[in-house]
Amino acid sequence: MRNETDIMASALYLYFDGLSLRKVQRYLKRRYGAKVSFRTILGWIEKYVPTVEKFTDSITPNLSGVWHSDETVLKFQHGTPCPVKANGKKERRKGSQHWFWDCIDEGTRYLVSCHLSKTRSLEAGTQHFKNCKAVGGRPKVIITDKLLGHGRFIRKALWNPNKDKMVTHIPTEAIPRHGEEAHNQMIERFHGTLDDRVKPMRGLKSPDTAIPRGFRIHYNFFKPHEGIDYITPAEAAGIHLPFNDGWGNLMTWATYYQAMNNTKDN
């Protein structure tokens, strides 16, 4: 049996590539002889995704400067178990909904950043674009849907007195109705992939979950894209890291990066 890091790396890769927790569980048993519960797999995701994200976000991608930004609804299960009625049946309880904001660079298909919020408020939208700026710098153009607040969000997060550095905001209603950019389909396809993954789970467990952020990492570093000659968005953005062991490499580098930062802080 291979070491635990190899098993964890395989579990994360297979899960974010589309397999259910149960199927990942069966694969690990068949391939490595490892008896791993689905809760253990979720524990690995929650432990390593935030660490890997800090490492990957420390790398500056070389982006085209034309971004597509959008938001979609993610559903979350109720935080407490359903009570049992007098007739013995469980009472159905509604969960909650949050907005998942994300932004994709047109030229590289790199998923710049993602942000989760309870509402589509000025604070939430502004924070989303601030997160994008922290990772990808200042774009030239941002294409969004017709949500009226997007212009305000962009101005508040990315305003600059220098006209040469001002960001052009283009809502989809201002684009001729042909081609994929007209309906922001570039980012909507990613939303479809995320929705296909979350729907069988009947919602995510908690807004604090690292699962959507793990999808972003997997999309950028491990998913070859037809629109960029079947290389990954990370490669298209000039990030060339050796991936002999996929998630295992990222986990190792991220742990080392975290240790180096802790040493500097001390």
**What value does the mean pLDDT take over residues 21-46?**
92
Using the predicted structure, report yes or no on whether residue 91 has a pLDDT greater than 50.
Answer: yes
How does pLDDT run across 137-162, given as a tens digit for each residue?
A: 999 999 998 777 889 999 999 988 88
pLDDT averaged over the chain? 85
**What value does the mean pLDDT take over residues 58-74?**
92
Using the predicted structure, report yes or no on whether residue 266 has a pLDDT greater than 70.
Answer: no
Long-range CB contact pairs, 111-117, < 8 A, 24+: 111/190, 111/216, 111/219, 111/220, 111/233, 112/61, 112/63, 112/67, 112/136, 113/57, 113/216, 114/212, 114/213, 114/216, 116/74, 116/207, 116/212
- Predicted local confidence at residue 245, as pLDDT: 81
- Predicted local confidence at residue 180, as pLDDT: 45
- Predicted local confidence at residue 1, as pLDDT: 41
**What value does the mean pLDDT take over residues 85-101?**
70
Tokens (6 digits) for 140: 């030239």
Cβ-based neighbours of 20, under 8 Å, separated by 6 or more: 200
- Predicted local confidence at residue 59, as pLDDT: 92
**Contact predicate 18/252, CB 8 Å:** no
**What value does the mean pLDDT take over residues 102-115?**
94
- Of 108 and 171, the one with more pLDDT: 108
CA neighbours within 13 Å on the CB side: how many for 33? 3
pLDDT band of 247, cuts 50, 70, 90: very high
- Look up the pTM and report it: 0.86
**What value does the mean pLDDT take over residues 94-118?**
91
Q: Which domains does the chain have, with CATH numbers?
A: 1-59+210-266 (no CATH), 62-207 (3.30.420.10)
CA neighbours within 13 Å on the CB side: how many for 58? 13
Using the predicted structure, report yes or no on whether residue 179 has a pLDDT greater than 60.
Answer: no
Question: Hey, which bits of the chain come out as E strands?
Answer: 66-76, 96-105, 111-117, 141-144, 168-171
